[in-house]
């Protein structure tokens, strides 16, 4: 049996992730940036098709090594937001219509304790739907692992690793946030 504090923490984390998704869907990018820690690591590896038995070692590119879809920090994400908000970002003019769905939220680790949670590792699944102009539709499905850090009465994202369940992207760009 888990203590009541664990269930309350999980609900708090779920609400935070749903709030974050709403900010992105409503294009409130500046407010979204406030949810990111100053030392944020934002990483999405590229995936490769590999032979059986080689998945753990070779399927995903590694952070800081080679190519990835994203290997960013808060500063670079802030610059991406600034560019979008100028209104002259070719890939986001007009702005995409985006919906983020978050599910299967699991609290994987709590430090130092459930009763005094300061850092939490969270796993979840995501589906991001993007509609551009009149005819471009893209769906991104995957899983995330987030390291959240207590910031006052709320949370900040200190690390996010996103794994897309595809290795070939049909979208013309990755101008959206995950």
Give me the residue spans of the domains in the chain: 4-164
- 5 or 52, higher pLDDT: 5
pLDDT tens-place string over residues 71-114:
999 999 999 999 988 877 777 778 889 999 999 999 999 999 99
Query: What is the SS3 assignment for 50?
Result: coil
**pLDDT band at 60; cut points 50, 70, 90:** low
CATH class of 4-164: alpha beta
Phi, psi of 96 (to 5 degrees): -65, 150
Alpha-carbon distance of 76 to 93, in angstroms, equals 20
Any bridge partners for residue 106, and if so which? Answer: 123
- 162 or 54, higher pLDDT: 162
Report yes or no: 141 and 127 within 8 Å, Cβ to Cβ. Answer: yes
Q: How many CA atoms lie within 13 A of 105 on its CB side?
A: 17
Closest CA to 13 of 97, 91, 119: 119
Any bridge partners for residue 88, and if so which? Answer: none
| pTM for this predicted structure | 0.90
Alpha-carbon distance of 95 to 83, in angstroms, equals 12
Give me the pLDDT at residue 50, please.
Answer: 64
Report yes or no: 9 and 116 within 8 Å, Cβ to Cβ. Answer: no
């Amino acid at each position: 049996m888990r203590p009541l504090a664990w269930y309350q923490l999980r609900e708090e984390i779920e609400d935070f992730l749903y709030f974050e998704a709403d900010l992105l869907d409503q294009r409130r990018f500046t407010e979204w940036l406030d949810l990111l820690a100053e030392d944020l690591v934002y990483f999405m590896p590229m995936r490769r098709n590999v032979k059986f038995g080689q998945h753990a070692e070779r399927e995903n590119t590694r952070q800081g090594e080679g190519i990835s879809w994203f290997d960013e920090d808060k500063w670079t994400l802030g610059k991406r937001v600034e560019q979008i908000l100028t209104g002259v970002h070719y890939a986001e003019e007009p702005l995409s219509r985006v919906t983020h769905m978050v599910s299967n939220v699991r609290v994987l680790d709590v430090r130092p304790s459930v009763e005094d949670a300061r850092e939490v590792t969270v796993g979840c699944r995501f589906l991001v739907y993007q509609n551009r102009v009149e005819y471009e539709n893209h769906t991104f499905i995957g899983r995330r692992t987030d390291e959240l850090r207590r910031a006052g009465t709320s949370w900040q994202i200190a690390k996010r690793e996103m794994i897309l369940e595809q290795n070939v992207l049909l979208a013309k760009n990755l101008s959206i946030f995950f």
